């Protein structure tokens, strides 16, 4: 390990130690986000509610629904028949979230579910427009300077107490318009000078919708604050007895990361350690990207002197016009190769030689016969050979040897 790398590592370790020391006594800030997630232990999560729901909804069977949408869950439970169809389940669809993010198709299916003698309990600050329009309800918010600090039940026999909940924690959403002939008011919010409706029961064909605008009452903060859990019990006492299908998926656009770095990124110290590690790796790559080895010189291969010598001699013969000498050497080279490669006697070039070479080499018999003829003619000739003779014999030899 080089000295520079050791310096880089020492610097990274020093920075990491400084961060750990700085964060050691630092109190983790409180997360006040209203996530309404059953997995969150922060003030406005539903972790406590998830653990205590069986005590809050006594003698009721709770089924947690994790389908992507309410439509997918309810539609999978629907059994069509020759008349109006029916559901395999019966009970109350239950949902707590900050705002109504239920899609229109799910709202339509929810109406159909309630029309078959079931119920829906929805606690959220605002509701989908399609739901409000169908039930002929309007919802509004108070002016910022109007502090509606108390909530209470309309039925004093059920619970006469008023519970103090500040505006910042819950918001002032209320039902500004209802069908008074059909709708039952179950709860209010307000102050000394004004009261507003925050909890209603609306009939729909054979079932009921229970709409509540104070989901904050079911969060960790209020279930653990003084006796505020009694208000939650009072509200939930209106949930009809029977099966409760609690839709916990996608509350407040909730999504749980599947990343293996989820815990690391949720802790400030670990997150900065991870960033420092990535920065350190990047620095290491940058400083070590240059080549450590000297440039290897290009070594030219040694020239083939034998081949150069042969070419030189061949050129001399050709320039001198000594075709007979070249032909003789070609013939000698050819016969020597036949003797070594096929073990054939080359003393006499006759029909017996032609047949043996043809069978052993597999070459065309006519090509062999033509070459033998040219060799014999050259040997019988007493006058000098021409360039055409050299080319003809060379081509004939090439056909037989290749």
Predicted confidence at residue 256, as pLDDT, reads: 46
Neighbours of 313 (CB within 10 A): 11
Whether domain 47-253 has CATH 1.10.10: no
Cβ neighbours for 332, distance < 8 A, ≥ 6 positions apart? none
Residue 27 in 3-state DSSP?
coil
Instruction: With a cut of 70, list the residues of the chain below it in pLDDT.
Output: 1-2, 5, 22-26, 82-84, 143-146, 166-171, 250-259, 262-263, 266, 289-295, 304-311, 313-318, 382-385
86-87 and 138-141 as β-strands: parallel, antiparallel, unpaired? unpaired
Predicted confidence at residue 138, as pLDDT, reads: 95
pTM, entire model: 0.60
Predicted confidence at residue 393, as pLDDT, reads: 85
Token pair recorded at residue 383: 């006058």
Predicted confidence at residue 51, as pLDDT, reads: 94
Location of structure tokens 């815990």: 263
Predicted confidence at residue 59, as pLDDT, reads: 85
DSSP string for 275-333 = HHHHHHHHHHHHHT-S--SPPPPPPPPPP-HHHHHHHHHHHHHHHHT-HHHHHHHHHHH
Predicted confidence at residue 325, as pLDDT, reads: 80
Q: Any idea where the domains of the chain sit in the sequence?
A: 47-253, 305-401
Residues 220 and 201 sit within 8 Å (Cβ to Cβ): no
DSSP 29: P
pLDDT digit string (tens) for 354-399?
898 889 888 899 988 998 898 888 888 766 667 788 788 888 888 8
DSSP string for 346-367 = -SS-SHHHHHHHHHHH---HHH
pLDDT digit string (tens) for 142-201?
766 667 778 999 999 999 999 987 645 445 899 999 999 999 999 999 888 889 999 999
Token pair recorded at residue 258: 């599947």
Predicted confidence at residue 314, as pLDDT, reads: 67
Predicted confidence at residue 21, as pLDDT, reads: 72
The distance from CA 264 to its chain's CA centroid, rounded to whole angstroms, is 19
Predicted confidence at residue 266, as pLDDT, reads: 67
CA geometry: angle 78, 81, 84, nearest 5 deg: 80
The distance from CA 363 to its chain's CA centroid, rounded to whole angstroms, is 66
Q: Which residues pair with 150 in a beta bridge?
A: 164, 190
Predicted confidence at residue 112, as pLDDT, reads: 94
């Amino acid at each position: 390990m080089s000295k520079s790398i050791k310096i880089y590592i020492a610097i990274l370790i020093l920075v990491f130690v400084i961060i750990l020391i700085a964060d050691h006594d630092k109190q983790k800030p409180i997360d006040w986000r209203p996530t309404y997630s059953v997995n969150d232990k922060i003030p406005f999560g539903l972790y406590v509610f998830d653990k205590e729901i069986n005590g809050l909804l006594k003698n009721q069977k709770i089924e947690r629904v994790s389908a992507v949408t309410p439509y997918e869950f309810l539609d999978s439970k629907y059994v069509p028949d020759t008349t109006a169809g029916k559901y395999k389940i019966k009970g109350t669809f239950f949902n707590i979230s900050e705002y109504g993010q239920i899609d229109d198709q799910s709202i339509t299916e929810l109406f159909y579910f309630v029309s078959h003698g079931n119920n829906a309990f929805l606690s959220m600050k605002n509701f989908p427009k399609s739901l409000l329009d169908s039930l002929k309800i309007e919802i509004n918010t108070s002016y910022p300077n109007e502090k509606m600090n108390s909530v209470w039940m309309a039925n004093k026999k059920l619970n006469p107490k008023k519970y103090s909940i500040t505006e910042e924690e819950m918001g002032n959403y209320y039902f500004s318009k209802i069908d008074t002939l059909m709708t039952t008011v179950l709860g209010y919010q307000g102050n000394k000078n004004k009261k507003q409706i925050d909890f209603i029961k609306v009939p729909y064909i054979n079932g009921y919708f229970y709409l509540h605008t104070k989901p904050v009452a079911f969060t960790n903060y209020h279930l653990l604050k003084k006796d505020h859990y009694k208000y939650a019990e009072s509200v939930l006492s209106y949930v009809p007895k029977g099966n409760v299908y609690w839709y916990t998926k996608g509350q407040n656009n909730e999504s749980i990361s599947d990343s293996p770095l989820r815990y690391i990124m949720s802790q400030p110290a670990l997150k900065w350690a991870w960033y420092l590690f990535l920065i350190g790796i990047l620095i290491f790559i940058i400083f070590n990207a240059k080549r450590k080895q000297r440039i290897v010189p290009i070594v030219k291969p040694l020239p083939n002197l034998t081949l150069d010598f042969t070419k030189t001699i061949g050129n001399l013969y050709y320039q001198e016009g000594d075709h007979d000498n070249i032909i003789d050497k070609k013939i000698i080279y050819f016969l020597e190769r036949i003797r070594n490669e096929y073990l054939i006697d080359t003393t006499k070039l006759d029909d017996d030689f032609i047949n043996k070479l043809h069978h052993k080499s597999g070459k065309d018999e006519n090509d062999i016969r033509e070459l033998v003829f040219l060799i014999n003619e050259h040997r019988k000739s007493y006058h000098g050979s021409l360039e055409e003779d050299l080319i003809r014999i060379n081509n004939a030899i090439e056909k037989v040897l290749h």
